[in-house]
Amino acid sequence: MADKELTLMNVLVTGSKGFVGSNLVVWLQKLEGYHVFEYDKDNSTQELFQALDVADYVVHLAGVNRPQTVDEFKTGNVDLTAQICNYLVEIGRPIPILLSSSIQAELDNPYGVSKRQAEEVLADYARRDGTRVVIFRLTNVFGKWCRPNYNSVVATFCHNIANDLPITISDPNREIDFIHVDDVIRCFMEEVQGYGSQVQGPGSQRGGVIYREVGPSYRVSLGRLADLLRSFRSSRQSLLVPDFSDPFTHKLYGTFLAYLTPDDFAYDLTRRTDPRGSLAEFVKSPPFGQIFVSRTKPGITRGNHYHHSKTEKFLVLEGEAIIRFRHIKSNEVIEYPVKGEDYRVLDIPTGYTHSIENVGEGELITLFWASEIFDPERPDTAWEEVLV
């Protein structure tokens, strides 16, 4: 019984090695109770039919959008869809099919016509046996593993900017609607899992053709897209973290990093050294402040200053230290001994002069967070000894 539950539902994914297909397969393979059959252009028709013999659900992503001849639109988009539907009808297995179509199905260009005709083939299939067909008309999907210099401006811009190559923008003000591949996969998974959880066999769910949309979508100009990607590339020098409160920026940044070459994952921070040790800024953001790390030699004290508006947090990662405070209108000194293994955070209030002294035998490594990015023109740092 346990083995049967692990292969409860067989899902055939056509176009499994493509951009969307490869992402979907990864997610499906992590699910218990699902077995994935993959079909792509290097598979035979016999392998396709063998998968259809046992499949409980078909996610049909295979198609042609950049052919060498116009005729390939029909063979890759219409004929393959008809072949799948006709075979299922022939063997008496009217299982549900999810189709990845395109918003261009509303247009009269050769690609759009072929996608619309594929939808019509599936509509006929649904009518014959009351089978469920779900059609998604997708637009400008972006995300990891999308092929650059093919048909995705995001993939091309990400690849070129990540590799310090030029990009071409004909109209920076042109706006495009984008959807993220993870949102596409989420919607596909809802359909597949919804079917698997509600039915025990093919054909028992409500039939007919259903059109679904993927959301959210993001309308972004080409100029803004390029500016964001360039800011991601330069963030290694500026240390400025993108504004991840914007969902598009958050998803685009994850996409951009996927286009770095493996030998470009690492980068060095600028170290500032003096007789006390060293210090380096890590990341910063105007709404967040900044994080930096320091290494301090034994017996050395850092600080002896206070701030009017800026607050800080100190976290000793390694070594032993005493963090001292004194209200600038008082002579009372407050001491906090800290050790790296304690993971103890110290808040630094405004109006308190403060210092951190390495009282251990080795280097003191400390992580600092400040609520404001340091501005040399307005440093908000007033020097005053803690010990009076």
Give the integer Cα–Cα distance in Å for 113 and 135.
15
Which residues make Cβ contacts (< 8 Å) with residue 164, sequence separation at least 6? 233
The dihedrals phi and psi of 366, each to the nearest 5 degrees, come to: -130, 135
- Report which residue type is found at 160: N
Alpha carbon 338 to its chain's center? 38
Q: Say if CB 369 and CB 290 are below 8 A apart.
A: yes
Q: Beta-carbon neighbour count of residue 257 at 10 Å?
A: 13
Count of CA atoms in the C-beta half-sphere (13 A) of 110: 13
Q: What is the torsion angle, in degrees rounded to the nearest 10, for the CA atoms of residue 370, residue 373, residue 374 and residue 376?
A: -160
Count of CA atoms in the C-beta half-sphere (13 A) of 249: 12
Active-site residue 111, yes or no? yes
Give the integer Cα–Cα distance in Å for 154 and 253.
11
The answer, yes or no, to whether the previous bond of 216 is cis (omega within 30 of 0) is yes
- 313: which strand partners? 347, 369
| Active-site entry in 34, 39, 57, 111 | 111
Q: Say if CB 372 and CB 291 are below 8 A apart.
A: no
DSSP-derived pairing of the beta strands 218-221 and 175-180: antiparallel
Q: Say if CB 191 and CB 149 are below 8 A apart.
A: no
Give the integer Cα–Cα distance in Å for 133 and 85.
11
Residue 293: its H or E element: strand 289-296
Residues acting as catalytic residues: 111
